[in-house]
Copies of this chain bind each other. A is one copy, B any other.
Amino acid sequence: MPSKKSHTIATLRSGNRLTLKDVAVKAGVSPITVSRVVNHYAGVRSEVREKVEAAINELGYIPNRSASILASSRSKLIGVLIPSLSNVVFNDVLRGIYSIAVPANYQILLADTHYSPMEEERSIRTLLGQSPDGLIITGGEQTDTAKTMLKASTFPVVQIMDHVKDPIDMNIGFSHFQAGVAVAKSLLEKSYCKIGFIGARMDPRTCNRLAGFKSVLSAVDRLDHKRIITNPQPSSVAMGAMLFRELMAATDGECDAVFCCNDDLALGALHECKKMHISVPDKFGVCGFNDIEMAAYAEPSLSSVKVNRYEMGRQAMELILERLQTSGNESDTVSNTVSKKAIRTNNTATPTQIIKSVTDTYIDTGFELINRKSTR
């Protein structure tokens, strides 16, 4: 059992975790000097620095982040909220985020919201407790509470993957609606005229693509709701095959092309075409979304829409770092720069009292239609 009070500080401590003090004793300097070395402060004599560094290495000292965060209220933590760990689409986004975060010594706290705004709100709450220095979140369908919390927060927030209407802070993505428009137009141009849609999960971005798609077809009076088949279950190749069969059954041949809400579904549809001896692309056109690598290797190769997922992640993280850097220098004149996102009226703890959102950055990463053999 531990002693109640210890006056010989460096020797008796509850846990046996090494602290700044231990290193300081070993190096014969004060703790704060060690802190400066650890944090790469300029103003330390190289002689002293080396001595300290030697002590650090000998002891294997690792700074305690919690203490550091508590004292400085900078955490070097970035919260990332994605709807699904299973959806490979987010792997690219994550890689982009990490490509910037890691060299800048930021760590990622990753949460999977399972496409649920409620779960998202819960995760945001948890993340906020970690004092993140920034947050990257998918889309714009947060709960009101979540939006309020984030707007009241003092760190940069980036919404990614979609062009959102009323952004919390910064936004980077592209218009899924316009992507849907582009696919519909393209299929029409290729002289398909009874164009259907199959979609699974039906998250907000998928819905936006569908909306864009419908808008075009209905404008030329080619929209038939029998040709819109959706399912709330997760996407998969098997699901694509199933939905395609449903589409065929529902339309009874009155369908000559399909826009699949992603490539997995499209691959399933292609597979089914083969089984049903439906000739692609002559008799039937198939277009996917995301342009995963397999799209190019399908038989026939799959037309799809390429989006810059890696870039979205990379630039989102860059936006955060930029803001962190500009706001870090000038600690006093905060309220009249654009470096802070929101200014609260007071600190009487009513988090809804926001005056304004100063930034409204939006970066469009665009999309590109890739025509391959599955369409004329």
Asked if A227 is at the interface (CB within 8 A of a chain B CB), the reply is: no
A308 → chain B closest CB, angstroms: 16
Asked if A128 is at the interface (CB within 8 A of a chain B CB), the reply is: yes
Interface pairs A-B: 10 shortest CB-CB: A16-B347, A66-B69, A65-B129, A66-B70, A66-B66, A59-B349, A60-B351, A62-B128, A237-B297, A110-B110
Q: A271-B297, A294-B267, A349-B59 are in contact. Are A95 and B85 (CB under 8 A)?
A: yes
The listed residue (B59, B108, B294, B296) touching A110 by CB distance below 8 A is B108
Contacts of A332 in B (CB 8 A): 1
How far, in whole Å, are A271 and B182 apart by their CA atoms in the complex? 30
A153 → chain B closest CB, angstroms: 10
How far, in whole Å, are A107 and B85 apart by their CA atoms in the complex? 14
The listed residue (B86, B105, B131) touching A91 by CB distance below 8 A is B86
Asked if A279 is at the interface (CB within 8 A of a chain B CB), the reply is: no
Contacts A62-B128, A88-B91 aside, 10 further interface pairs with beta carbons under 8 A come to A15-B154, A16-B347, A62-B129, A64-B131, A67-B70, A85-B98, A86-B91, A107-B130, A238-B293, A267-B297
Asked if A63 is at the interface (CB within 8 A of a chain B CB), the reply is: yes
The listed residue (B98, B108, B110, B299) touching A274 by CB distance below 8 A is B299
Instruction: Name the residue of chain B whose CB is nearest to the CB of A240.
Output: B297
Contact call A70/B60, Cβ cutoff below 8 A: no
How far, in whole Å, are A154 and B297 apart by their CA atoms in the complex? 49
Contacts of A18 in B (CB 8 A): 349
Instruction: Name the residue of chain B whose CB is nearest to the CB of A112.
Output: B98
Instruction: Name the residue of chain B whose CB is nearest to the CB of A13.
Output: B347
How far, in whole Å, are A163 and B246 apart by their CA atoms in the complex? 45
The listed residue (B107, B126, B149, B299) touching A60 by CB distance below 8 A is B149
Asked if A344 is at the interface (CB within 8 A of a chain B CB), the reply is: yes
Q: A86-B95, A109-B107 are in contact. Are A63 and B293 (CB under 8 A)?
A: no
Q: What copy number does this chain have within its complex?
A: 2
The listed residue (B62, B65, B344) touching A16 by CB distance below 8 A is B344
Q: A73-B15, A108-B110 are in contact. Are A236 and B293 (CB under 8 A)?
A: yes
Asked if A125 is at the interface (CB within 8 A of a chain B CB), the reply is: yes
| Residues 260-300 (chain A) with a chain B CB within 8 angstroms | 264, 267-268, 271, 274, 293-294, 296-297, 299
A249 → chain B closest CB, angstroms: 20
Asked if A94 is at the interface (CB within 8 A of a chain B CB), the reply is: yes
How far, in whole Å, are A66 and B68 apart by their CA atoms in the complex? 9
Contact call B95/A91, Cβ cutoff below 8 A: no
Contacts of A131 in B (CB 8 A): 64-66
Contacts of A237 in B (CB 8 A): 293-294, 296-297
How far, in whole Å, are A238 and B22 apart by their CA atoms in the complex? 54
Q: A73-B15, A107-B109, A293-B236 are in contact. Are A130 and B95 (CB under 8 A)?
A: no
Q: A86-B95, A98-B112, A107-B109 are in contact. Are A349 and B60 (CB under 8 A)?
A: yes
Contact call A22/B349, Cβ cutoff below 8 A: yes
Contacts of A98 in B (CB 8 A): 85, 112
The listed residue (B107, B111, B126) touching A126 by CB distance below 8 A is B107
Proximity string of chain A (123-135) to chain B, C-beta cutoff 8 Å, 1 when within and 0 when not:
0011011110000
